[in-house]
Amino acid sequence: MDRIRIVGGNKLNGTIPISGAKNAALPLMIAGLLTEETLILDNVPRLADVAQLQRILGNHGVDITSVGKRVGDREYQGQTLHISASDIIDTTAPYELVSRMRASFWVIAPLVARMRQARVSLPGGCAIGTRPVDLLMMALEKLGADISIDRGYVVAMAPDGLRGGRIDFPKVTVSGTHVALMAASLARGSTVIDNAACEPEIADVASCLNKMGAHIQGAGTPRITVEGVARLHGARHTVLPDRIEAGTYAIAATMTGGDVQLAGARPELLQSALDVLKRAGAEISVNDEGIRIARNGAGIRPVTVSTAPFPGFPTDLQAQLMALMVRAQGASEITETIFENRFMHVQELARLGARISLAGETARIDGIAQLRGAPVMATDLRASVSLVIAGLAAEGETMVNRVYHLDRGFERLEEKLKACGASIERISD
């Protein structure tokens, strides 16, 4: 199993290209099930989760080809996927595939919308809380699907097709909004989605669906309206840049000091995180190439932050920010409001010398001047990269074990950091 070895103390200086957003690429790939024509996706990141979803879609009879680099492509440019679901041969998504990645459960929406039936295993994924699928099932029921549970599988039936309806989510749900959008696109009549998630990835998926012939308005706001169509056609769409990856490298640059250009990053996608980093002492400027982050000499200032749905501070950057606050000049507080069990990185950061105390949903971090390298264990995707950030600033060697979590969400992480001066390498046993 691969490990990542880091010798801390080097400032980061240079350019880090930002890859396509995993959290948009996955639902966009699933949306390919909605049409018998080919959907072409550009700037798809090369991630373990993308490869796993290709296997899951292949089980349904979807043909996916990855086009290689072309003349003029920039370094790290994402892959282009041609997704063809002309013949869906199986409407069952089995446990052994779905259990490895929670987002794959979302295939239930296009399958029941287009094929009028689906049988999908209850999901797996990161161990950061239950993240139940009840709101997803509720959304499909509002559109006329008959939902039942059979031996660990969710069975959705709509023999006469889905019909438009009103979906009022009791709490903001990104996965529920994705499912509702895909299902409503092929439902007869109008659908109104209230308390919809406003994340940029939702708007990106809606933009692609509209290119495919859907009639969606309001994506990116709490109320989305969808006028169903009889069929969708093929289209070409470019995945938006990954705001979580951009925020992660911005935090790494703030942690180590130095000066880093985040090429292709879009500030409007992560403004709340940039505001927090400014409060923490980072210098941030926006230019034609993306976002520039620098911290030269100034200490890291403590901050108080609560995670919140977009446009608030992202839960997917909480662990990274905590790693930064470990070296702040004073006490910080971070409150996690989205997922339970998302403080599993605390005990691993403590191995590097961090002083963190937990009280319910809130972590208090008492900053220290110096971390010391140690062997640590990754517990989930975002927690694992927080350990990398801490290791970059720690004295001596840090060995991050179980880095397959990192490969699920960060494309060529060690290459991008090494190009900016980090002493980091992957060790394959």
Q: What angle do CA 6, 12, 14 make, to 5 degrees?
A: 130
- Segment 74-83 shows an average pLDDT of 82
125, pLDDT greater than 60: no
243, pLDDT greater than 50: yes
- Among residues of the chain, what percentage have pLDDT more than 90? 85
- β-partners of residue 147 are 156
127, pLDDT greater than 80: no
Helix-, strand-, coil-residue percentages of the chain, each rounded to 5 = 35, 30, 35
At 130 the pLDDT is: 46
Q: Side by side, which strands form the sheet with 153-157?
A: 92-93, 117-121, 153-157, 146-150
239, pLDDT greater than 90: yes
Distance of alpha carbon 127 from alpha carbon 344, whole angstroms: 9
At 128 the pLDDT is: 34
For the stretch 318-368, pLDDT in tens is 999 999 999 999 999 999 998 776 788 999 999 999 999 999 999 999 999
76, pLDDT greater than 80: no
- Segment 35-48 shows an average pLDDT of 97
Q: How confident is the model at residue 70 (pLDDT cuts 50, 70, 90)?
A: low
- Segment 268-289 shows an average pLDDT of 97
74, pLDDT greater than 80: no
Give the SS3 label for residue 356.
strand
At 380 the pLDDT is: 81
Q: Mean pLDDT over all residues of the chain?
A: 94
226, pLDDT greater than 90: yes
Q: 312 and 357 in contact (C-beta within 8 Å)?
A: no
Residues annotated catalytic, as ranges:
126
Nearest Cα residue to 115 out of 77, 53, 161, 153: 161
At 124 the pLDDT is: 53
For the stretch 397-418, pLDDT in tens is 999 998 888 998 899 999 999 9
Distance of alpha carbon 128 from alpha carbon 45, whole angstroms: 23
- Segment 196-217 shows an average pLDDT of 98
- Segment 89-102 shows an average pLDDT of 90
Q: How many CB atoms lie under 10 A from the CB of residue 88?
A: 16
